[in-house]
Amino acid sequence: MASLFTLANPKLAALQPYVPGKPVDELKRELGLSDVVKLASNENPLGVSPAVPIAIAAALQDVARYPDGNGFALKQAIAAHYAVDTSQITLGNGSNDVLDLIVRCFAAGTDEVVYSQYAFAVYAIATQSVGAVGVEVPALNYGHDLPAMLAAIGPQCKMVFVANPNNPTGTYFNQAALLSFIQQVPAHVLVVLDEAYVEYDPTLTDSVALLRQFSNLIICRSFSKAYGLAGLRVGFALASSGVTEVLNRVRQPFNVNSLAQAAAIAALHDQAFVEATRQHNNLGMAQMLAGLAQLGLQVLPSKGNFVCVQLPMAGQVLFEQLLKLGVIVRPLQGYAMHNFVRISIGTTSENDSCLSALKQVLGGTYV
């Protein structure tokens, strides 16, 4: 019998599925370890605001009901926080859902979608999943080469993805570079600006201010990173009301569940937790960079809660050796970055465990 795969859209044959970080429980099961440090998925090592479990407990009373399909209260909270109108907000089951939705709404057939080499893998996956044409622009020093990306925007181009900072590289650009880029993108091409890590350095850009000027700009944000809600899946897009109307037409009516909506509102209202997260990350980043430097390792510049480390060996080999020591990092062969791993910034003791394990594997002088 022919493989059922032959029934699928032929363009899906080339699709490389997203490779998630290895779950803690899986490693515990496999190696019988009790102590595992996971620095593989850029989660918040501080957990969540104390207001979040309280909000979830209250929302639990109503789980027999469908969630608010329009996310009224969450949109009100987001609108107030960012000084935008609720007609500019699209909620998603994680920002991944929003990224996927944008591609589904605006690209098909021979339409082109431009993104950078080493950019977040979801852009290529979403593009391939609708059968549109992905145009990958070679990176510059592992970051986005914005002038080259502009030059790659041809007559068939529908949208260009830019991640700032980018995952997995951590590379970033400032407001002047962003503004100059958007100014040069034709008005009929969407600029999808993915800012999943923006809370770690809010001084980097003020992209929300650009929404007033550019109706082709879509900003994607996530509650999974600094807000610590990765397991609940909430993200959103800010855009012109015209673009937002299209996105909400195609969006599944109940794509953000009721516990997630309640948790996101509580998380957004506790900006002190976000500030604590930022400070904790700054300290952890300094600790990690100093430790990696002692080990003689080079890193890419990062403005996120993770660092991309260049290795004298294959990333996959280091990944496997660190697993045996109970430390999970992220190998990057899916990005063809064979001699790199991505390491999330954890707590002081998690960072220390990771650096000690690295020293054991690599030799070196870390103490």
Ligand X SMILES: *Cc1c(COP(=O)(O)O)cnc(C)c1O
Residues found near ligand X in the complex (CB under 6 A): 42, 94-96, 120, 163, 167, 194, 196, 222, 224, 230, 235
In the complex, the smallest distance separating the C-beta of residue 263 from ligand X, rounded to whole angstroms, is: 13
- The nearer residue to ligand X, 300 or 325, going by C-beta atoms, is 300
- The nearer residue to ligand X, 210 or 232, going by C-beta atoms, is 232
CA-wise closest residue to 171 among 161, 163, 181: 163
In the complex, the smallest distance separating the C-beta of residue 219 from ligand X, rounded to whole angstroms, is: 12
The one-letter code for the residue type at 95 is S
- The nearer residue to ligand X, 181 or 236, going by C-beta atoms, is 236
- The nearer residue to ligand X, 136 or 352, going by C-beta atoms, is 136
In the complex, the smallest distance separating the C-beta of residue 242 from ligand X, rounded to whole angstroms, is: 24
- DSSP-assigned states of every residue in 304-352: SSEEEEE-SS-HHHHHHHHHHTTEE-EE-GGGT-TTEEEEE---HHHHH
Q: Determine the 3-state secondary structure of 186 from DSSP.
A: coil
Q: Are strands 157-163 and 112-116 parallel, antiparallel or unpaired?
A: parallel
- DSSP-assigned states of every residue in 27-62: HHHHH--S--EE-SS---TT---THHHHHHHHHHTT
In the complex, the smallest distance separating the C-beta of residue 256 from ligand X, rounded to whole angstroms, is: 11
- The nearer residue to ligand X, 112 or 194, going by C-beta atoms, is 194
Q: Encoding tokens for residue 31?
A: 């190696």
In the complex, the smallest distance separating the C-beta of residue 188 from ligand X, rounded to whole angstroms, is: 25
CB 244 within 8 A of CB 237: yes
In the complex, the smallest distance separating the C-beta of residue 7 from ligand X, rounded to whole angstroms, is: 29
In the complex, the smallest distance separating the C-beta of residue 98 from ligand X, rounded to whole angstroms, is: 8
Which residues, 6 or more positions from 55, have their beta carbon under 8 angstroms from its beta carbon?
262, 263, 265, 266
In the complex, the smallest distance separating the C-beta of residue 326 from ligand X, rounded to whole angstroms, is: 24
In the complex, the smallest distance separating the C-beta of residue 109 from ligand X, rounded to whole angstroms, is: 25
CB 315 within 8 A of CB 331: yes
The one-letter code for the residue type at 335 is Y
CA-wise closest residue to 163 among 192, 185, 201, 140: 192
Phi, psi dihedrals of residue 72, rounded to the nearest 5°: -55, -55
Which residue is associated with the tokens 């904790």? 280
- The nearer residue to ligand X, 236 or 366, going by C-beta atoms, is 236
- The nearer residue to ligand X, 244 or 344, going by C-beta atoms, is 344
Q: Determine the 3-state secondary structure of 194 from DSSP.
A: strand
Distance CA 238, CA 98 (A): 10
- The nearer residue to ligand X, 340 or 366, going by C-beta atoms, is 340
- The nearer residue to ligand X, 95 or 255, going by C-beta atoms, is 95
The residue at minimum Cβ distance from ligand X is 94
Which residues, 6 or more positions from 317, have their beta carbon under 8 angstroms from its beta carbon?
none
- The nearer residue to ligand X, 230 or 314, going by C-beta atoms, is 230
CA-wise closest residue to 213 among 251, 246, 175, 256: 175
In the complex, the smallest distance separating the C-beta of residue 120 from ligand X, rounded to whole angstroms, is: 4
